[in-house]
Amino acid sequence: MATVGLVLARKTASAPRDLVWAHVVDAELRQVWWPGSQVEASLGGSVSEQWSDGAGDSEVVRDASGVIDVCISGHVLGFRWRDAADEFETEVLLTLRSGESTADGSADSAYPSGAVGASESTDITVSETGFGRFADASERIADAQQGWIELLTALVTTVEAAVETADSAPGENLAPYEENRSEASPDAPTSPDAEPDSTEVGEDDSEAEIDAEAEPNVEPEAELKAESEAETESESETEAELSFDDLIRGA
């Protein structure tokens, strides 16, 4: 059965995907670009949007609520919701996909080592379906389309402002970003390229030198095992990349 009444909105933010996700799921950050919203970013969590505009006969009231049925941290958030005055639900799917980094490398970024900086972009897509069941489908589709475009525009403006602030004042406004990264990879190893603190180096440099002959011999079997583990790790990282175009709700 063909999807009837599709709303599709897309925007690209010059900000890392994890930072964009933080602005979607963190209540305080989300209120900046989506006031009146509540999102519990987990399967079965609640989502709602409540606001009013105007007064008297011209007042417009929004009181929508629903349940999250798709949640892949850092990538996808999907939910079904309806306005209190409506008979039918609509289905919303928000996806984030990392874009290409710009030519001006991230060396000057305020983000920590190993993190993507201001030079990385994120493609944001929102789709909402189910309007074809309403008698006033055309009007609802137009309103929803405009509403999502305005929200995504506000989201992009907010996250890009956060990136600029971080670049001008390193370390600020990065707490949600850091928290999200640590949740995604709690066992991330320390970079092997990290240089030791100069205070830990002895005064006698000769003691710090390592005799090449003193290095342990690595057996061929150990080398093959290390290479195999590295290849397995690489394959796991590749498989972790999600193909959102193949994502089907409920699959």
pLDDT digits (tens, 9 = 90+) for 69-106: 999 999 999 999 999 999 999 999 999 999 876 544 44
68, 40 contact by CB (below 8 A): yes
Backbone angles phi, psi at 55, to 5 degrees: -150, 160
Compute the chain's Rg from CA coordinates: 24
DSSP class of residue 42 equals: S
Q: Give yes or no for residue 244 having a pLDDT over 70.
A: no
Planar angle of CA 67, 71, 75, nearest 5 degrees: 140
Rank 125-134, 158-167, 171-180, 232-241 by mean pLDDT and report only the highest.
125-134
Write down the pTM of the prediction. 0.63
Structure token pair of residue 128: 């909402």
* Domain at 7-33+74-182: CATH architecture: 2-Layer Sandwich (3.30)
Q: Which band of pLDDT confidence, cut at 50, 70 and 90, is reported for residue 55?
A: confident
For the chain, the structural domain boundaries read: 7-33+74-182
d(CA 120, CA 103): 10
pLDDT at 183: 54
pLDDT digits (tens, 9 = 90+) for 175-234: 555 555 555 444 444 444 444 444 444 444 444 444 444 444 545 554 545 555 555 554
